[in-house]
Chain A
Amino acid sequence: MTVDAAAPAQTSNRPSFVVCEGNEAAAIGVGLARPDVVAVYPITPQSSLVEHLSQMIADGRLKASLMNVEGEHAVLCGLQGVALAGGRTFTATCGPGVAFMFEPYVRTPGLRLPMVAALVTRDLLSPQCVWGGQQDAMVVREAGWIQMYCETVQEILDTTVMAYKIAEHRDVMLPVNVCHDGNYLSFGVTRVELPEQTAVDEFLGPPSINWHIALDPLRPMGVDPLTGGSGGAGPRNFVRYRKGQCHGMQNALRVIREVHAAWGERFGRYHAPLVEEYRLDDADYALVTIGSMTGAAKDAVDVAREGGEAVGLIKVKTFRPFPVEAMTAALAKVDRIGVVDRSVSFGWNCGPVYQETLGALYHTGKPIAATSFIGGLAGADITVEHFARAIALTREAQFGRSPREPLWLNEND
């Protein structure tokens, strides 16, 4: 479907591409998915996403109801009602907004409501900050939502549409967070290819949201009753639902791959669904990255390659569910890694992606040197030079002699 800008053959007046920021790309993706109700409370750096969506609805370009609510908690409570009534929904938030949304947020996966929400990732308070960082998304990584991290503005648009197909798959039925880096992707402006509406309609199919749990006078039921106390069938009921939720997450690993493949076939853009391997097959060591930092990291890998270094890169796109098999296969190809995080695991004194990569390393059966780098907090830039330093330090690392301390890339900036 990728249409060359010079090609005149257009079936509609709609341009085949636009130049826009990441938040607008997300809004365009939402528009293509045709949600019934949108409720978004503005918060930096997500605010322009709300503005784009509001404008689309006001102009009649998106036939959806815009629900004006008083805060993020009400956003998600309201949208749960919409989903239970069978509607396709969208919201977006970040940072303190996620914190305020937390109570209905943790309930959404358990209700198996296939909602889609953008997380325009932002570092958490305090110290006071309104800039990008992935701490908000990492804090909620055990809430039960699927998390996919985008690398480019184009990937935001494509992933937002794909997210609906993944969430609404009968074997998944879980909410999806499409995560894109605040500032760097939210306000980064670039050329973006636009898929045709009819093609997206065919790709997604009609929504089927509330076939399993509903607020519907024609199908009267109690929604989410108590599963019972410890005296009767309560414990086994609860375990059955929890296990079902875990199975849904594991099914998502397969469905995410299938949907990305189908998207590539249909629209000509193939994004790595779970883990991307970059120049890895003949690499001795590798960086592990997540999100928009990957662009600069790939440039740094290219520069090092020109200098004769056998370095590659592993990018995590899907972080929840964690792609254990794909990650294990990638890690097995190298004998040293350096993991770069844009957030902090306070419990382990390292980055969260580093911590989870160590978990995947267990499955390779091969202990290797692993170094934790933390950079890009509160909007800081991780430059090619920072990555060059991370590459040099990763090359020198030896197993068993890694410091139990992360290396803070922006410490002296």
Chain B
Amino acid sequence: MQRQSRDHFDASTIPDDLAPIATTLSTMLPGDWRSMRPVIDRLKCVKCGLCWLFCPVQCVVEKPRWFDFDLAVCKGCGVCAQECPHRAISMIEELGR
């Protein structure tokens, strides 16, 4: 089968003011955008996994007795708090950066 890819070409050989291209993975994570953050009540969480299922950016991480959130990735949409059947997640305002 014909080889479909090779090492990334050297983007520095073309002018950097033409059209935007990306040859490396962007580290820009949606955590930068957040104005509200989810906070879990560990006693109420039963690890049903609904928050994990609904999270649009897949920032829910599993802990031994509860689910928690990767705040570098969480964009603060609040879907998890809305969907949690045990009201274990509340959204609080982000203060400062």
Contact = CB atoms under 8 A, between A and B. Distances in A.
Interface residues on B, range: 20 to 34
A389 B88 CA distance: 83
A247 interface: yes
A221 B11 contact: yes
Interface string B25-54: 010100011000000000000000000000
B9 A219 contact: yes
Contacts of B19: 110-112, 212-213, 223-224, 241
B13 to A, nearest CB: 9
A231 interface: yes
A7 interface: no
A306 B17 CA distance: 53
Contact of B8 (A220, A232, A247): A220
Given A231-B32, A244-B15, A225 B21 contact: yes
Contact of A224 (B8, B17, B21, B26): B21
Contacts of B28: 226, 228, 232
A363 to B, nearest CB: 26
Interface in A216-242: 217-229, 231-232, 237, 240-241
B17 A212 contact: no
Nearest to B26: A225
A229 B16 CA distance: 18
Contact of A243 (B4, B8, B11, B17): B17
B4 A217 contact: yes
A173 B22 contact: no
A112 B19 CA distance: 6
B96 to A, nearest CB: 14
A223 B18 contact: no
A211 interface: yes
B15 A212 contact: yes
Contacts of B9: 219, 221
A240 B16 contact: yes
B6 interface: yes
Interface in A179-230: 211-213, 217-229
Nearest to B25: A222
B22 A221 contact: yes
A214 to B, nearest CB: 8
B15 A217 contact: no
Contacts of B32: 229, 231
A55 B33 CA distance: 54
Nearest to A228: B28
Contacts of A223: 19, 21
A225 B26 CA distance: 9
A72 to B, nearest CB: 22
B12 interface: no
A232 to B, nearest CB: 8
Given A217-B5, A218-B5, A219-B9, A241 B22 contact: no
B14 A212 contact: yes
A223 B18 CA distance: 12
Contacts of B21: 212-213, 221-225
Contacts of A111: 19
Contacts of B11: 221
B15 A218 contact: no
Contacts of A221: 8-9, 11, 21-23
Nearest to B23: A221
B20 interface: yes
Contact of A222 (B5, B18, B22): B22
Given A217-B5, A220-B5, A173 B18 contact: yes
Nearest to B11: A221
A300 B86 CA distance: 86
Given A217-B5, A225-B26, A247 B14 contact: no
The 8 lowest CB-CB distance pairs between A and B, nearest first, are A244-B17, A222-B22, A213-B19, A225-B22, A219-B9, A212-B18, A112-B19, A221-B21
Given A218-B4, A219-B8, A222-B22, 4 more contacts: A217-B5, A218-B6, A229-B33, A241-B20
24 contacts: A110-B19, A111-B19, A173-B18, A212-B14, A213-B18, A213-B21, A217-B5, A221-B8, A221-B23, A222-B22, A223-B19, A223-B21, A224-B19, A225-B26, A228-B28, A229-B32, A231-B32, A232-B28, A240-B17, A241-B17, A241-B19, A244-B15, A244-B17, A247-B17
